[in-house]
Structure formats: structure tokens, C-alpha cells
């Protein structure tokens, strides 16, 4: 079924978080203010990205990354126009012209640059098409989204979003228990590690900020990244009084309550 909306309401960070946690396979199309982008995933990992009319073919990417000159790019295009990217990549490697690592690094960088750009799109329609993958001959990679979400959050310029997403600094953080989520696999910087080292239901986010001498925005940015990478969750701090239990219904004894609920169940079943 549909997974679509506007970035105003559901941000790129939230989308990547969703794709990551739900281990989705398919292509995300985003129509931004001036151009469109396509990002593909397999089992919740980034495999491919393409931006607007940019030349996203292997030659285009190599040219951009400075691995081939403009003239070489033209020559490849004329002489190897019948080859798809995978075949071309093999050809370049077998000819001893490029090594596999540098081709892959170049592709990875190209995809990442596109995705990081998306973090600053505050507006635009998005749609996720499950099962849709990039064209057959294209070279794909496999990148964990956790790292991308963290890095994307570092680069985010929209402060307003951060405020929205981490509204209450009086709440605490705790680690998420999720198979496959291991904080050690994620590339954290010093600031993020400092925050992580205080993650504990006993510490409010405000206290963590204070301990690390971080201001409101700095702490929000870090927490935002960790939250959306699915590594931590917001919890009620230990010791925070739970709101007084309002009287549920007239004080009656436990047995009577159970029988009352059972009567309700019987009645609703019979509706």
C-alpha cells in the first residue's frame, strides 16, 4: 500500500528511519522544489541514488570524481556505448585502467552526496515504491542507513525541525533493544560519544547537555541523529512522578471490575 506524503510532514530523516527499521526494499522518489531524486534500498540498506538530470551513469560518476578526464569520458561513451555500467566497470578494471575499490568508492561518494543533499529539502512530495529497483545494468552498493542518518543530521541546516522532533529536554534516553542495532557499528564523533556515554533513564537530556557543556541546539542535533538512527529512544526519566491515577470508575472491588469488563466484551461481541 501507499507510502507517500510531503516532506513538510514527514522528513527525509524520518523516511530513512522508517526504511531502515522496516528493512524495506524499493525506490524512494522525492520531487523537491527544483529537481527530483530517486534513492533505492534493499533490505533497509542504501544501494543506489540518482539526482535530477545529472549524469548518473558510471562514466558520469567517474568524471565527477576526477577518475577520468572529460576527453576520456567522451571516448568511453563513443566506443563502449553498447556496454552497461557493470560491463563497463569490468572492462576498465580488466584493462588495468582503474581498480575496483576506487570505482566503488567513487560511486559510494556520489550516492552519499545525493542523499545528504536531501536532508536539507524541507519541502517536496515523496513516494516509496516497494520492490522497484534501479535499472538492471547499474552498479549498486550496500550502505547502512544508521551512519547516513547520523551524518545527515550533522549536516542539517534546519534548526526548526530539530526543535520539533526533540521537544522536551526533561525526558531521558535509553538504548533501543533491537536485533541488529549495535551502537558500536556506527561511526560516532566525539560529541556523539560523549552524549552516548550518559544515555541512561536516570539522566534527562538537559542534564546530559549540561554535563557536556552543550547548548540546546547542539544537544538536540545529536539526540535527533541518535533517535532517527534507531539507536536510542526517549523515555520518562526514572523518578519522574507518573501523573496521579485518576479515578477510573466508581471504586468497586477487583472481582466486580473483571466481571464488568467481561460483560462489556460479551455485549460488544453481540453487536
Q: Contact 47/139 with Cβ under 8 angstroms?
A: no
Least distance between other proteins and beta carbon 4 (Å): 7
Round to whole Å and give the CA distance between 219 and 195: 8
Q: Contact 29/126 with Cβ under 8 angstroms?
A: yes
Least distance between other proteins and beta carbon 9 (Å): 4
Long-range contacts of 131-135 (CB under 8 A, 24+ apart): 131/25, 131/26, 132/26, 132/27, 132/40, 133/25, 133/26, 133/27, 133/40, 133/42, 133/47, 133/48, 134/27, 134/38, 134/40, 134/47, 134/48, 134/50
Residues 170-189 vs other proteins: string with x where CB under 8 A? Answer: --------------------
Name the segment binding other proteins (CB under 8 A); options: 28-36, 143-151, 192-200, 243-251.
243-251
34 binds other proteins (CB under 8 A): no
Round to whole Å and give the CA distance between 17 and 229: 6
Q: Contact 233/174 with Cβ under 8 angstroms?
A: yes
Say how many residues make up the chain: 271
Cα separations (Å) of 18 from 61, 128, 179?
28, 11, 15
Name the segment binding other proteins (CB under 8 A); options: 46-54, 64-72, 131-139, 239-247.
239-247
Of 95 and 242, which has the nearer Cβ to other proteins?
242
Round to whole Å and give the CA distance between 50 and 115: 9
Least distance between other proteins and beta carbon 118 (Å): 17
Report how many residues bind other proteins under the rule CB under 8 A: 37
Of 184 and 269, which has the nearer Cβ to other proteins?
269
Residues 124-143 vs other proteins: string with x where CB under 8 A? Answer: --------------------
267 binds other proteins (CB under 8 A): yes
Nearest to 233 by CA among 21, 22, 9, 10: 21
99 binds other proteins (CB under 8 A): no
Name the segment binding other proteins (CB under 8 A); options: 11-19, 26-34, 75-83, 90-98.
11-19
240 binds other proteins (CB under 8 A): no
1 binds other proteins (CB under 8 A): yes
Residues 214-233 vs other proteins: string with x where CB under 8 A? Answer: -------------------x
Round to whole Å and give the CA distance between 106 and 151: 18
Cell representation of residue 25: 526494499
Using CB under 8 A as the binding rule, the residues of this chain from 60 to 79 that contact other proteins are none
| Residue ranges binding other proteins (CB under 8 A) | 1-6, 8-10, 14, 17-18, 21-22, 164, 233, 242-243, 245-250, 254, 257-258, 260-265, 267-269, 271
Amino acid at each position: 500500500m501507499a507510502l507517500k506524503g510531503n516532506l513538510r510532514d514527514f522528513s527525509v530523516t524520518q523516511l530513512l528511519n522508517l526504511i531502515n527499521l522496516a528493512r524495506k526494499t524499493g525506490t524512494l522518489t522525492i520531487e523537491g522544489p527544483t529537481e527530483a531524486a530517486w534513492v533505492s534500498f534493499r533490505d533497509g540498506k542504501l544501494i543506489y541514488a540518482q539526482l535530477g538530470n545529472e549524469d548518473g551513469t558510471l562514466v558520469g560518476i567517474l568524471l565527477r570524481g576526477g577518475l577520468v578526464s572529460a576527453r576520456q569520458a567522451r571516448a568511453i561513451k563513443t566506443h563502449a556505448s553498447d556496454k552497461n555500467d557493470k560491463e563497463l566497470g569490468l572492462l576498465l578494471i580488466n584493462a588495468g585502467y582503474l581498480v575496483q575499490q576506487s570505482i566503488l568508492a567513487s560511486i559510494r561518494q556520489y550516492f552519499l552526496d545525493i542523499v545528504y543533499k536531501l536532508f536539507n529539502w524541507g519541502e517536496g512530495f515523496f513516494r516509496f515504491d516497494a520492490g522497484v529497483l534501479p535499472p538492471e545494468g547499474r552498479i549498486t552498493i550496500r550502505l547502512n542507513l544508521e551512519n547516513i542518518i547520523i551524518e545527515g543530521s550533522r549536516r542539517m541546516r534546519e534548526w526548526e525541525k530539530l526543535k520539533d522532533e526533540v521537544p522536551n529536554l526533561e525526558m531521558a534516553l535509553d538504548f533501543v533493544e533491537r536485533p541488529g542495532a549495535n551502537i558500536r557499528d556506527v561511526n560516532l564523533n566525539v560529541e556523539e560519544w560523549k552524549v552516548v556515554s550518559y544515555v541512561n533513564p536516570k539522566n534527562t537530556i538537559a542534564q546530559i547537555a549540561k554535563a557536556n557543556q552543550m547548548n540546546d541546539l547542539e544537544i538536540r542535533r545529536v539526540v535527533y541523529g541518535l533517535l532517527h538512527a534507531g539507536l536510542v529512544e526517549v523515555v520518562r526519566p526514572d523518578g519522574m512522578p507518573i501523573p496521579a491515577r485518576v479515578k477510573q470508575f466508581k471504586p468497586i472491588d477487583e472481582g466486580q471490575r473483571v466481571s464488568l469488563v467481561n460483560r462489556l466484551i460479551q455485549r460488544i461481541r453481540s453487536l
